[in-house]
Amino acid sequence: MTIKDTPQEWEVRATDTPFVGNKTSVRTDDVVMPGGSVVRRDYQVHPGSVAVLALDEEDRVLLIKQYRHPVRQKLWEIPAGLLDIPGENPLHAAQRELYEEAHVKAEDWRVLTDVYTTPGGCDEAVRIFLARGLSEADGDRFEVEDEEADMEHARVPVDELVRGVLAGELHNNCLVVGVLSLVAARTGDGLDALRPAEAPWPARPFES
């Protein structure tokens, strides 16, 4: 048996969108189960996201700290953002987020991993990139507002982040998955064996 996620779509008898927000919405589907019963499933419809694990020459990861109202905490995170434009190339979106949130550019980009953040209640798909060869971005800094106006920045050694994740001190999904994926890639075939930055992404198809 091959351990691999596979596409599948069960019959939907009816669908409704009881809430439409600025970036996301809530959908209600009546789904036919394998035994023939029909059950109602509510879930958040999300455009998708990208995140960037930016690794410098001193083996430190670029982090931001940002207030997240739903969990009432300021979380250490890696730069990330929404795929605001349907069909947007995720690499271009990731490069934009790294510039806007950290005023940094990178020479080498790879796909670190792809994840569904909460597939039981949301269809959000996230592509996490590894960015290396960091330098300060050209031009003026991006003007931030709202939660981003209170952002903190840091560069933290990978080993310290692993310790913080396993100690339950760091909770952001993309940070946790990204750091542990980085360590796993290093102990496997190495970082240069990661997928290219333009690798296909069936969860969010895009144009080159």
Give a three-class secondary structure readout of 67-104.
EEHHHCEEEEECCEEECCCCCCCHHHHHHHHHHHHHCE
CATH classification number, 49-196, choose in 3.90.79.10, 3.10.100.10, 3.10.20.30, 3.30.70.20: 3.90.79.10
- φ/ψ of 173, rounded to 5, equals -55, -50
Is 148 an active-site residue? yes
Token pair belonging to 199: 């690798």
Along the 208 residues of the chain, how does pLDDT read in single tens digits? 899 999 999 999 999 999 999 999 999 999 999 999 999 999 999 999 999 999 999 999 999 999 999 999 999 999 999 998 888 899 999 999 999 999 999 999 999 999 999 999 999 999 999 999 999 998 777 676 666 667 899 999 999 999 999 999 999 999 999 999 999 999 999 999 999 999 999 999 998 7
CA 19 to CA 22: how far, in whole Å? Answer: 10
Its pTM surpasses 0.85: yes
3 — phi, psi (to 5°)?
-85, 95
CB-based contact 31:11 (threshold 8 Å): yes
pLDDT the model gives residue 146? 60
- One-letter identity of residue 74: K
Measured from the Cβ of residue 207, the count of other Cβ atoms closer than 10 Å reads: 7
For 192, the 3-state DSSP assignment is helix
Q: Which of 97, 100, 148, 160 is catalytic?
A: 148
Tokens for 45, please give them: 């419809």
Give the span between the Cα atoms of 179 and 60, in whole angstroms: 11
Q: Which residues pair with 125 in a beta bridge?
A: 116
Domain ranges of the chain: 12-45, 49-196
